């Protein structure tokens, strides 16, 4: 037992008062002797002995009553595991986990509702003069201020589930920073959380003996959850009339297998596809939604399923653009024969917009408006053109390089060196293409199989092209050298061919592979932008192919009549917008300039909260013990009178009430002794 105010024990000197009173109450009796009074003498002696006992009992009761009152005013208590209790004002921090997982339930109800009630009860267990911090995952600036009791109660009542989830190590740091700014001599931190394994990073926790931390776990009764994890198209380009395959990855975090779960796709508010799937317990499954692109321009979509009680990850939003034409530009070196072969591939196709420019008169600014650039038979490559092509590829464009029969080796070598490739010696030995790599995505979606006796292109003239290790060898010659290679550079790709396209180079232009290869280069050209973005994970969003010009600021409009002005960052290559406001609702957003929508953007909530697996209080205590984290304690929130238990953790088990009761009992005992011994 310890005392909150041990100096008050000096008042035990008051025990001398009843002793002095009893001394003055002792009377001196005068002895008078009579004859024949033997029987009276026996009565007198017996009465005197009883009075002596009565006086001692009354004195003892009074001493105990006074001692009990003194001890009560000294505030006795039984210390808790953290040690002695300090007197004075208190600064207390309460963390309410308001992540999406707190929408779960247990026998006591919704987890967040329990956290709010427990926090409010704990606040009321402290004095009105104490100071409080109420912290949530939003990490708002105002939450770093210490506030009064009424404000703390109101702040706890305002907490509601949202898209934010922080590692508990960051929460601890935030709590300690706020409490360190206070002047209160006694500091304490509390956490009301479901202890999700994804956020309870115990390995990053540290001890702080000045700020003991109490964790109140609120585990859900059922940790099952079905979540849409990610979405992607099978092909990189959306075109009008194209049959689309939208892949959906779904994760089952529950302990039971699910069958015939419906999955729906809505495009621009219209239902376009419906499918069902089954998934085993604790497993992941991929399914496909199929639809046909029937309109050009900007579109938004939503993939959805039904799963309760945690619903934040049941919807997944996408935004994409359907192109009416792919823009192809031929930069000609003057070889009419091979130029005509390239032109024949695209001119008759309504899905492509084809243009030709002489290499000496090329408009470099037009590269930004082009998807595929074909360099054909250039005698030399001007340095300005080479620099513009490098920037074009880095920004997502595709570049196809076909040498002439007598190219300038130095300028072509300098061009290829920008992409990590090399331009080597001339070889006039006739040699066929040996094989097609059907494992590469470039061809495997075109050819499912290749006959062994198929006639492949013949090369009569070629140059030794070397490619970096990151390159994909699409076609190889019989001697193992590259004939056609694909080199990834930044967001784009460079396709290099070893032979010229004229008859002296070989018969590649007469082969079906030539048309297929050029069409695939165009189809896989400049990416159409990200299908979606994750709130909080991506600050800068690139707007590929979107022109934001002029002084007028664009607006980002979305769910709930949201309308904000994002920061625009313009570069020579692309435009990006910066989203500094993380408190955005998931859904489809339209980037507008005036009355025109220039891009659609889909924002989704992070899926880190989808896995509802949690630590039990016993598991957490074991982890804390393993790491020697002695400044942490864990209590069960399911017990009754949680506020009293939290107060005892901070101030120990208070005993002053028992001593007051004892003082009253001793006073009552004194009265009984006096009355019963008259």
For 303-319, the pLDDT digits (tens) are 999 887 778 889 999 99
194 with 245, same domain: the answer is: no
User: Is residue 49, in this structure, part of any structural domain at all?
Assistant: yes
Q: Name the domain boundary from 275, 295, 322.
A: 322
580 with 431, same domain: the answer is: no
Higher pLDDT, 447 or 190: 190
Q: Grade residue 109 by pLDDT with cuts at 50, 70 and 90.
A: confident
* 344-393 per-position pLDDT tens digit: 999 877 778 899 999 989 999 888 888 899 999 999 999 999 999 999 99
632 with 591, same domain: the answer is: no
CATH of residue 646 = 3.40.50.410
Note the Cα 487 to chain centre separation in Å. Answer: 34
pTM value? 0.65
Collect all residues with Cβ–Cβ distance below 8 Å to 48 and sequence separation of at least 6: 29
User: Is residue 661, in this structure, part of any structural domain at all?
Assistant: no
DSSP annotation string for 458-518: EESSEEEEE--TT-EEEEEETTS-EEEEEEEETTEEEEEESS-SSTTTBSGGGSHHHHHHH
Higher pLDDT, 30 or 509: 509
pLDDT of res. 44: 55
pLDDT of res. 640: 54
User: Is residue 471, in this structure, part of any structural domain at all?
Assistant: yes
User: Is residue 227, in this structure, part of any structural domain at all?
Assistant: no
* 3-state secondary structure at position 330: strand
User: Is residue 318, in this structure, part of any structural domain at all?
Assistant: yes
For tokens 């008050």, the residue is 8
User: Is residue 656, in this structure, part of any structural domain at all?
Assistant: no
Mean pLDDT of 125-135: 91
Nearest to 410 by CA among 389, 429, 382: 382
Q: Grade residue 262 by pLDDT with cuts at 50, 70 and 90.
A: very high
pLDDT of res. 113: 93
Give the pair of three-digit tokens for residue 140: 């708002």
Give the pair of three-digit tokens for residue 81: 């595991």
423 with 483, same domain: the answer is: yes
User: Is residue 284, in this structure, part of any structural domain at all?
Assistant: yes
CA 315/CA 588 separation, integer angstroms: 12
Count Cα neighbours of 85 within 13 Å in the Cβ-side half-sphere: 25
User: Is residue 214, in this structure, part of any structural domain at all?
Assistant: yes
**Dihedrals phi, psi of 501, to nearest 5 degrees:** -90, 0
504 with 428, same domain: the answer is: yes
pLDDT of res. 593: 85
Mean pLDDT of 247-257: 91
* 3-state secondary structure at position 599: strand
Nearest to 2 by CA among 71, 88, 94: 71
367 with 496, same domain: the answer is: yes
294 with 419, same domain: the answer is: no
pLDDT of res. 224: 79
* 3-state secondary structure at position 583: coil
Mean of the per-residue pLDDT values of the chain: 84
507 with 464, same domain: the answer is: yes
296 with 398, same domain: the answer is: no
Q: Name the domain boundary from 581, 604, 627.
A: 604
380 with 333, same domain: the answer is: yes
Count Cα neighbours of 532 within 13 Å in the Cβ-side half-sphere: 24
- The C-alpha angle 46, 49, 50, rounded to 5 degrees, equals 90
Q: Where are the alpha helices (DSSP H) in 589-641?
A: 617-626
CB 535 within 8 A of CB 568: no
**Dihedrals phi, psi of 152, to nearest 5 degrees:** -65, -40
Total of domains in the chain = 5
586 with 481, same domain: the answer is: no
* 328-346 per-position pLDDT tens digit: 999 999 999 999 999 999 9
Q: How many residues does the chain have?
A: 678
279 with 336, same domain: the answer is: no
Examine the pLDDT at 678 and tell me if it is beyond 80: no
Structural domain of 598: 533-604
For tokens 């399923």, the residue is 305
Q: Name the domain boundary from 322, 350, 374.
A: 322
């Amino acid at each position: 037992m310890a005392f909150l105010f041990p100096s008050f024990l000096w008042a035990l000197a008051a025990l001398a008062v009843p002793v002095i009173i009893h001394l003055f109450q002792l009377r001196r009796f005068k002895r008078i002797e009579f004859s024949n009074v033997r029987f009276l003498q026996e009565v007198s002696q017996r009465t005197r002995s009883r009075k002596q006992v009565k006086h001692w009992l009354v004195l003892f009761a009074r001493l105990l009553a006074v001692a009990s009152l003194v001890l009560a005013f000294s505030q006795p208590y039984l210390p808790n595991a953290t040690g002695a209790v300090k007197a004075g004002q208190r600064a207390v921090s309460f963390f309410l986990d308001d992540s999406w997982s707190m929408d779960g339930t247990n026998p006591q109800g919704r987890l967040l509702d329990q956290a709010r009630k427990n926090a409010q009860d704990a606040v009321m267990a402290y004095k009105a003069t104490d100071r409080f911090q109420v912290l949530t995952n939003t990490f708002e600036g105002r939450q770093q201020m210490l506030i009064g009791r009424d404000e703390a109660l109101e702040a706890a009542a305002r907490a509601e589930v949202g898209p934010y989830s922080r590692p508990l190590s960051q929460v601890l740091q935030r709590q300690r920073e706020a409490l360190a700014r206070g002047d209160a001599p006694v500091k304490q931190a509390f956490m009301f959380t479901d202890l999700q394994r994804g956020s309870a990073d115990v390995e990053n926790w540290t001890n702080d003996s000045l700020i003991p931390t109490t964790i109140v776990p609120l585990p859900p009764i059922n940790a099952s959850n079905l979540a849409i994890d990610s979405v992607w198209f099978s092909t990189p380009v959306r075109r009008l009339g194209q049959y689309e395959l939208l892949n959906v990855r779904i994760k089952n975090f529950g302990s039971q297998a699910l069958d015939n779960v419906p999955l729906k796709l809505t495009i621009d508010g219209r239902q376009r596809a419906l499918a069902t799937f089954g998934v085993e317990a604790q497993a992941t499954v991929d399914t496909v939604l199929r639809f046909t692109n029937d309109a050009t321009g900007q579109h938004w979509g939503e993939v959805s399923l039904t799963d309760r009680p945690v619903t934040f990850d049941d919807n997944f939003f996408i935004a994409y653009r359907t192109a009416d034409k792919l823009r192809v530009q031929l930069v000609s070196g003057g070889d009419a024969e091979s130029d005509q072969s390239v032109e024949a591939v695209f001119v008759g196709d309504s899905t492509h917009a084809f243009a030709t420019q002489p290499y000496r008169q090329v408009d470099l600014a037009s590269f930004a408006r082009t998807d595929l650039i074909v360099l054909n038979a250039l005698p030399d490559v001007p340095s300005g053109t080479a620099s513009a092509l490098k920037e074009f590829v880095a920004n997502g464009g595709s570049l196809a390089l076909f040498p002439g029969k007598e190219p300038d080796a130095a300028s072509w070598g300098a061009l290829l060196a920008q992409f990590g490739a090399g331009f080597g010696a001339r070889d006039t030995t006739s040699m066929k293409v040996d094989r097609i790599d059907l494992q590469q995505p470039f061809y495997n979606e075109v050819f499912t199989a290749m006959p062994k006796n198929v006639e492949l292109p013949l090369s009569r003239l070629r140059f030794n092209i070397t490619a970096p290790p990151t390159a994909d060898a699409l076609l190889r010659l019989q001697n193992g050298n590259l004939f056609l290679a694909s080199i990834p550079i930044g967001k784009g790709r460079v396709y290099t061919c070893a032979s010229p396209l004229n008859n002296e180079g070989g018969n590649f232009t007469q082969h079906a592979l030539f048309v297929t290869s050029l069409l695939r280069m165009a189809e896989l050209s400049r990416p159409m932008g990200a299908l979606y973005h994750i709130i909080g994970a991506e600050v800068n969003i690139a707007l590929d192919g979107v022109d934001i010009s002029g002084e007028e600021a664009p607006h980002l409009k979305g769910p709930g009549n949201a309308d904000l002005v994002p920061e625009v960052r313009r570069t020579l290559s692309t435009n990006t917008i910066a989203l500094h406001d993380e408190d955005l609702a998931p859904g489809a957003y339209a980037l507008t300039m005036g009355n025109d929508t220039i891009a659609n953007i889909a924002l989704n909530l992070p899926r880190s909260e989808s896995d509802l697996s949690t630590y039990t209080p016993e598991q957490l205590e074991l982890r804390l013990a393993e790491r020697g984290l002695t400044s942490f304690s864990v209590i069960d929130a399911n017990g009754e009178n949680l506020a009293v238990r939290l107060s005892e953790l901070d101030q120990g088990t208070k005993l002053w009430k028992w001593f007051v009761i004892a003082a009253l009992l001793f006073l009552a005992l004194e009265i009984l002794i006096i009355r019963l011994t008259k």
